[in-house]
Structure 1
Amino acid sequence: MTASTHDTRPVALVTGATRGIGLAIAQRLGDTHHILVGGRDAQAVQAVVDELPSAAGFVCDLTDEAAVSAATQTIERLDLLIHSAGIARSTTVEQATREQWREIFEVNVVAVADLTRRLLPQLRANQGQVITINSGSGFHSGPGGALYSGSKFALRAFTDALREEERGAVRVSSIHPGRVDTDMQVELQQQAGRPYVASEHLRPGSVAEAVALAVFASPEAMVEQVSVRPVFKA
């Protein structure tokens, strides 16, 4: 899962890279990085690998601790870790079950923290970078948003703590998109009972450009936090 010794490209692991924002990020960085394409579906992962100039698969269920342990042991070198995998749920506090709380925090927070922890030695060795794809919901919440916003608030706290703990060793950035035209957003709008109009949302490529801003900042600079929102006023 690593680039060959003859490949001088920096190595980037992008989770959730088979669709939506993660796919756009993998495509944006594909010309400059060797991409480890993260995903659970081996066929979908391979399809992305095949379209990139330099890539390999990272097929793993990030909620499976044993699987993550085995998969990360194959990564000898890493320059960039981008956490794009995540889930969204919309329900009221009254209706939310303990299982739903556990599920969303396991995927959006615990899996991120565990994967980061396991790969910190490789990142430190290369003065690497961690980027978390958060959300506007990482700053505010509203009716039906306790599950998703709660997990994104926690992700922001994790990212802020990691940034200070690793300052000078690993650059850490948090990207906060508003509503993005993805399958996840379609589901969220359906759950909220609102009509879906794609043109009112950000393109995944716009989020990828915000990620690129952080990735390609000069070595002495750290883009700590970026908020990207649609022009359309909801």
Structure 2
Amino acid sequence: MTAHLITGASSGIGAAVVGRLAGRGDELWLLARDAGRARELEARFPGTRTLVGDLATPEKLSWSLSHQTLPDRLDSLLHIAGVVDLGDIGELTPKAWNAQLAANLVAPAELTRLLLPQLRLARGHVVFVNSGAGLRANAQWGAYAASKHGLKALADALRLEERAHGVRVTSVYPGRTATPMQAKVHRQEGKEYEPAQWMAPESVATTVLTALDLPRDAEITDLSVRPGP
């Protein structure tokens, strides 16, 4: 059975991906920030397994996972979780910078490092759900864009390093998507949020599954998806 480990499964794009993969009977491991969230995920997605690890503190992930039973092999590791906090460079504090860099960049790097043995064994696939901000930075998006530009660099380096092990690496760059994060962004921008204006999480989930399901003789390296006209 194909096995996947997914971050950000509780809402938005992550929840849409979990629903699609669960619907076809794949084995799912969901990362939760604490035991309470793990129980919520298990109740929401029956048949899934959970691991507890807080992406806000990547330096503790190794200790957390060492005290849990991990999958023997992984066909994919899907990095979908992320945090955002807008602000002008002249106003963002080190706390705001560090929080976004930790969750959006350092934690994916550390989680990938810890799970590379399982990914290599399966000749698996690492998918980074990045952002349009990973390709360009706009005003007030400096810290978030920096973390996502770094995530692109992480993916590009990992792809070259793990090619000999048969591990594929894909970056997906969604435009604005109707998720709880988007609602928060609109509040910070002082704008009214209308979900119908933006892509559905299920549309981005389709791009993720397209990359996963591509035959082994090919690899999608970078894929941008934007709201339609």
With normalisation by structure 1, the TM-score equals 0.90
User: What residue is the counterpart of 2:162 in the other structure?
Assistant: 166
User: Contact between 1:12 and 1:81, CA under 8 Å: does it hold in 2?
Assistant: yes
User: What residue is the counterpart of 2:52 in the other structure?
Assistant: 59
Which consecutive residues of structure 1, in runs of 5 or more, have no partner in the other structure? Answer: 1-8
Task: Write the distance in 1 (CA, Å) between the matches of 2:218 and 2:58.
Answer: 35
Q: Does 1:120 align with 2:137?
A: no
User: What residue is the counterpart of 2:197 in the other structure?
Assistant: 200
Specify whether residues 32 and 222 from structure 1 end up closer, same or farther in structure 2 by C-alpha distance, changes over 3 A only: farther
Specify whether residues 47 and 158 from structure 1 end up closer, same or farther in structure 2 by C-alpha distance, changes over 3 A only: same
1:19-58 matches, cutoff 5 A: 19-30=11-22, 31-52=24-45, 54-58=47-51
* 1:71 paired residue among 65, 69, 90: 65
Letter in 1 for 2:60: A
User: What residue is the counterpart of 1:131 in the other structure?
Assistant: 127
SS at match of 2:49: strand
User: Contact between 2:52 and 2:64, CA under 8 Å: does it hold in 1?
Assistant: no
Task: Write the distance in 2 (CA, Å) between the matches of 1:16 and 1:56.
Answer: 14
Letter in 2 for 1:15: T
What is the deviation of 1:64?
Answer: 4.6
1:146-165 matches, cutoff 5 A: 146-165=142-161
SS at match of 1:142: coil
User: Contact between 1:81 and 1:129, CA under 8 Å: does it hold in 2?
Assistant: yes
Task: Write the distance in 1 (CA, Å) between the matches of 2:81 and 2:215.
Answer: 26
Task: Write the distance in 2 (CA, Å) between the matches of 1:28 and 1:85.
Answer: 17
SS at match of 2:163: coil
Percent same amino acid among aligned pairs?
38
User: Contact between 1:18 and 1:38, CA under 8 Å: does it hold in 2?
Assistant: no
Q: Does 1:87 align with 2:83?
A: yes
Task: Write the distance in 1 (CA, Å) between the matches of 2:121 and 2:133.
Answer: 33
Specify whether residues 94 and 20 from structure 1 end up closer, same or farther in structure 2 by C-alpha distance, changes over 3 A only: same
RMSD: 1.6
Specify whether residues 201 and 41 from structure 1 end up closer, same or farther in structure 2 by C-alpha distance, changes over 3 A only: farther
What is the deviation of 1:141?
Answer: 1.2
**Higher helix fraction (1 or 2):** 2
Which consecutive residues of structure 2, in runs of 5 or more, have no partner in the other structure? Answer: none
Specify whether residues 92 and 225 from structure 1 end up closer, same or farther in structure 2 by C-alpha distance, changes over 3 A only: same
User: Contact between 1:91 and 1:146, CA under 8 Å: does it hold in 2?
Assistant: yes
User: What residue is the counterpart of 2:9 in the other structure?
Assistant: 17
